Protein backbone atom coordinates (compact mmCIF):
# COMPACT_ATOMS: atom_id res chain seq x y z
CA UNK A 1 0.00 0.00 0.00
CA UNK A 2 1.44 3.35 -1.04
CA UNK A 3 1.68 6.27 1.38
CA UNK A 4 0.55 9.72 0.20
CA UNK A 5 1.49 12.48 2.65
CA UNK A 6 0.24 16.02 2.18
CA UNK A 7 2.67 18.63 3.53
CA UNK A 8 0.67 21.82 3.92
CA UNK A 9 3.69 23.89 4.93
CA UNK A 10 2.57 27.30 6.31
CA UNK A 11 -0.94 27.13 4.87
CA UNK A 12 -4.40 26.52 6.38
CA UNK A 13 -5.33 27.71 9.85
CA UNK A 14 -7.78 25.71 11.99
CA UNK A 15 -10.87 26.88 10.08
CA UNK A 16 -9.57 25.92 6.64
CA UNK A 17 -8.22 22.69 8.10
CA UNK A 18 -11.63 21.67 9.45
CA UNK A 19 -13.24 22.41 6.09
CA UNK A 20 -10.66 20.34 4.21
CA UNK A 21 -10.84 17.42 6.63
CA UNK A 22 -14.64 17.35 6.51
CA UNK A 23 -14.54 17.20 2.71
CA UNK A 24 -11.72 14.66 2.44
CA UNK A 25 -12.28 10.91 2.49
CA UNK A 26 -9.26 8.66 2.05
CA UNK A 27 -9.86 5.92 -0.53
CA UNK A 28 -9.21 2.29 0.31
CA UNK A 29 -5.98 0.90 -1.06
CA UNK A 30 -3.70 3.81 -0.13
CA UNK A 31 -2.64 5.39 3.16
CA UNK A 32 -3.32 9.12 3.30
CA UNK A 33 -1.53 11.34 5.82
CA UNK A 34 -2.12 15.06 6.36
CA UNK A 35 0.61 17.32 7.76
CA UNK A 36 -0.91 20.66 8.81
CA UNK A 37 0.87 23.51 10.62
CA UNK A 38 1.21 23.10 14.39
CA UNK A 39 -1.73 25.40 15.18
CA UNK A 40 -4.05 23.32 13.00
CA UNK A 41 -3.13 19.88 14.33
CA UNK A 42 -6.04 19.64 16.83
CA UNK A 43 -8.57 20.69 14.18
CA UNK A 44 -7.30 17.98 11.84
CA UNK A 45 -7.10 15.28 14.49
CA UNK A 46 -10.70 15.79 15.62
CA UNK A 47 -11.88 14.79 12.14
CA UNK A 48 -10.35 11.33 12.46
CA UNK A 49 -7.65 11.42 9.78
CA UNK A 50 -4.06 10.23 10.19
CA UNK A 51 -2.12 13.36 11.11
CA UNK A 52 1.62 14.03 11.13
CA UNK A 53 3.39 17.18 12.31
CA UNK A 54 5.81 19.05 10.06
CA UNK A 55 8.65 18.92 12.59
CA UNK A 56 9.52 17.55 16.03
CA UNK A 57 12.31 18.35 18.51
CA UNK A 58 14.70 15.78 19.94
CA UNK A 59 14.20 16.81 23.59
CA UNK A 60 11.14 15.88 25.62
CA UNK A 61 11.02 19.39 27.08
CA UNK A 62 13.33 22.30 27.87
CA UNK A 63 14.36 25.80 26.90
CA UNK A 64 13.79 25.44 23.15
CA UNK A 65 11.57 28.36 22.23
CA UNK A 66 9.36 27.65 19.23
CA UNK A 67 9.94 23.90 19.22
CA UNK A 68 7.48 21.08 19.93
CA UNK A 69 8.36 17.70 21.46
CA UNK A 70 7.27 14.18 20.63
CA UNK A 71 5.38 13.73 23.94
CA UNK A 72 3.41 16.93 23.21
CA UNK A 73 2.47 15.67 19.76
CA UNK A 74 1.46 12.29 21.10
CA UNK A 75 -0.76 13.93 23.71
CA UNK A 76 -2.62 15.69 20.88
CA UNK A 77 -3.09 12.44 18.98
CA UNK A 78 -0.49 13.08 16.27
CA UNK A 79 0.80 9.86 14.73
CA UNK A 80 4.09 10.96 13.18
CA UNK A 81 6.26 13.81 11.92
CA UNK A 82 8.22 15.04 8.93
CA UNK A 83 11.86 15.80 9.71
CA UNK A 84 14.61 17.39 7.64
CA UNK A 85 12.48 18.90 4.88
CA UNK A 86 14.63 20.85 2.43
CA UNK A 87 13.01 24.11 3.54
CA UNK A 88 13.99 23.35 7.15
CA UNK A 89 17.53 22.68 6.01
CA UNK A 90 17.67 25.78 3.78
CA UNK A 91 15.95 28.38 5.96
CA UNK A 92 16.31 27.13 9.52
CA UNK A 93 19.75 25.61 9.71
CA UNK A 94 18.82 21.93 9.91
CA UNK A 95 21.84 19.66 9.47
CA UNK A 96 22.26 15.94 8.93
CA UNK A 97 23.03 15.69 12.67
CA UNK A 98 19.93 17.52 13.87
CA UNK A 99 17.74 15.61 11.42
CA UNK A 100 19.13 12.35 12.81
CA UNK A 101 18.53 13.49 16.40
CA UNK A 102 14.93 14.45 15.64
CA UNK A 103 14.39 11.15 13.85
CA UNK A 104 15.63 8.88 16.61
CA UNK A 105 13.82 10.83 19.33
CA UNK A 106 10.50 10.68 17.51
CA UNK A 107 10.83 6.98 16.72
CA UNK A 108 11.80 6.29 20.31
CA UNK A 109 8.50 7.76 21.48
CA UNK A 110 6.49 5.74 19.00
CA UNK A 111 5.92 8.42 16.37
CA UNK A 112 6.34 7.48 12.74
CA UNK A 113 8.85 9.58 10.79
CA UNK A 114 9.14 10.80 7.22
CA UNK A 115 12.80 11.83 6.97
CA UNK A 116 13.62 13.97 3.94
CA UNK A 117 16.78 13.82 1.85
CA UNK A 118 17.73 15.28 -1.51
CA UNK A 119 20.31 17.09 -3.57
CA UNK A 120 20.39 20.61 -4.99
CA UNK A 121 20.60 21.27 -8.73
CA UNK A 122 24.24 22.32 -8.34
CA UNK A 123 25.06 19.09 -6.52
CA UNK A 124 23.33 16.99 -9.16
CA UNK A 125 25.00 18.79 -12.07
CA UNK A 126 28.44 18.49 -10.45
CA UNK A 127 28.05 14.72 -10.03
CA UNK A 128 27.69 14.83 -6.25
CA UNK A 129 24.16 13.46 -5.94
CA UNK A 130 25.17 10.05 -4.60
CA UNK A 131 27.61 11.57 -2.13
CA UNK A 132 25.02 13.99 -0.79
CA UNK A 133 22.38 11.27 -0.50
CA UNK A 134 24.84 8.91 1.15
CA UNK A 135 25.75 11.46 3.82
CA UNK A 136 22.13 12.36 4.52
CA UNK A 137 20.78 8.80 4.56
CA UNK A 138 23.66 7.29 6.52
CA UNK A 139 23.29 9.94 9.24
CA UNK A 140 19.73 8.66 9.73
CA UNK A 141 20.64 4.99 9.30
CA UNK A 142 23.41 5.22 11.90
CA UNK A 143 20.98 6.24 14.66
CA UNK A 144 17.73 4.58 13.60
CA UNK A 145 18.53 1.68 11.28
CA UNK A 146 15.71 0.11 9.28
CA UNK A 147 13.08 1.03 11.88
CA UNK A 148 9.55 -0.09 11.06
CA UNK A 149 8.24 3.42 11.74
CA UNK A 150 10.72 5.13 9.41
CA UNK A 151 10.12 6.28 5.84
CA UNK A 152 12.57 8.24 3.69
CA UNK A 153 11.30 10.95 1.34
CA UNK A 154 13.54 11.69 -1.62
CA UNK A 155 12.94 15.32 -2.58
CA UNK A 156 15.36 16.76 -5.12
CA UNK A 157 15.66 20.34 -3.88
CA UNK A 158 15.50 21.70 -7.42
CA UNK A 159 12.00 20.23 -7.81
CA UNK A 160 10.47 21.61 -4.61
CA UNK A 161 7.85 24.23 -5.39
CA UNK A 162 9.40 24.96 -8.78
CA UNK A 163 7.04 23.05 -11.02
CA UNK A 164 10.00 20.97 -12.19
CA UNK A 165 9.76 17.25 -11.68
CA UNK A 166 12.45 14.60 -11.79
CA UNK A 167 12.16 12.24 -14.75
CA UNK A 168 11.04 8.67 -14.06
CA UNK A 169 14.60 7.53 -14.75
CA UNK A 170 16.03 10.02 -12.24
CA UNK A 171 13.51 8.93 -9.64
CA UNK A 172 14.24 5.22 -10.13
CA UNK A 173 17.98 5.86 -9.92
CA UNK A 174 17.77 7.89 -6.70
CA UNK A 175 15.32 5.55 -4.97
CA UNK A 176 17.38 2.48 -5.87
CA UNK A 177 20.50 4.10 -4.46
CA UNK A 178 18.78 5.12 -1.22
CA UNK A 179 17.49 1.57 -0.73
CA UNK A 180 21.06 0.23 -0.95
CA UNK A 181 21.85 2.39 2.08
CA UNK A 182 18.71 1.86 4.16
CA UNK A 183 16.00 -0.75 3.65
CA UNK A 184 12.87 1.31 4.31
CA UNK A 185 10.05 2.64 2.13
CA UNK A 186 11.01 5.66 0.01
CA UNK A 187 8.57 8.36 -1.07
CA UNK A 188 9.11 10.79 -3.92
CA UNK A 189 8.57 14.49 -3.27
CA UNK A 190 8.92 17.28 -5.79
CA UNK A 191 6.02 18.89 -7.66
CA UNK A 192 3.87 15.74 -7.56
CA UNK A 193 0.39 16.41 -8.94
CA UNK A 194 -2.48 14.37 -10.41
CA UNK A 195 -1.25 14.64 -14.00
CA UNK A 196 2.19 13.14 -13.26
CA UNK A 197 1.42 10.97 -10.23
CA UNK A 198 0.70 7.72 -12.03
CA UNK A 199 3.94 7.81 -14.01
CA UNK A 200 6.01 8.62 -10.90
CA UNK A 201 4.25 6.29 -8.46
CA UNK A 202 4.44 3.34 -10.84
CA UNK A 203 8.24 3.45 -10.94
CA UNK A 204 10.12 0.63 -9.22
CA UNK A 205 11.20 1.61 -5.71
CA UNK A 206 8.63 4.40 -5.31
CA UNK A 207 6.51 3.61 -2.25
CA UNK A 208 4.41 6.76 -2.25
CA UNK A 209 4.71 10.53 -2.40
CA UNK A 210 5.29 13.55 -0.20
CA UNK A 211 3.03 16.16 -1.79
CA UNK A 212 3.26 19.92 -1.34
CA UNK A 213 1.10 22.36 -3.30
CA UNK A 214 -1.18 19.70 -4.78
CA UNK A 215 -2.18 18.61 -1.27
CA UNK A 216 -3.79 21.96 -0.44
CA UNK A 217 -6.81 21.37 -2.68
CA UNK A 218 -9.05 18.58 -1.48
CA UNK A 219 -10.03 17.44 -4.99
CA UNK A 220 -6.41 17.36 -6.11
CA UNK A 221 -5.24 15.45 -3.04
CA UNK A 222 -8.14 13.01 -3.31
CA UNK A 223 -7.24 12.37 -6.96
CA UNK A 224 -3.64 11.66 -5.97
CA UNK A 225 -4.74 9.18 -3.32
CA UNK A 226 -7.06 7.42 -5.78
CA UNK A 227 -4.23 7.08 -8.29
CA UNK A 228 -2.02 5.57 -5.59
CA UNK A 229 -4.78 3.19 -4.56
CA UNK A 230 -4.99 1.79 -8.10
CA UNK A 231 -1.28 0.96 -8.32
Is there a contact between 194 and 165 (Cβ–Cβ < 8 Å)?
A: no
The verdict on whether 85 is a catalytic residue reads yes
| SS3 state at 184 | coil
**DSSP-assigned beta bridge partners for residue 31:** 3
Assess whether 94 carries a catalytic annotation: no
SS3 190: coil
Cβ distance 37 to 6 under 8 Å?
no
Catalytic residue (one of 87, 119, 123, 155): 155
Phi, psi of 193 (to 5 degrees): -150, 170
CA distances from 11 to 6, 7, 35 (A): 11, 9, 10
Task: Say which of 85, 87, 119, 123 is annotated catalytic.
Answer: 85
Active-site positions?
85, 155
Amino acid sequence: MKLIAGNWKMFKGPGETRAFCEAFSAPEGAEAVLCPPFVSLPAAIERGHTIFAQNVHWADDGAFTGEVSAPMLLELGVRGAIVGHSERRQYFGETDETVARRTVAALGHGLRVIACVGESLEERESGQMNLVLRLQVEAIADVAGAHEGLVIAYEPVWAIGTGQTATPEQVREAHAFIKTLLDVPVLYGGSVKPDNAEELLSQEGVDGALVGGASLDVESFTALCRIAARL
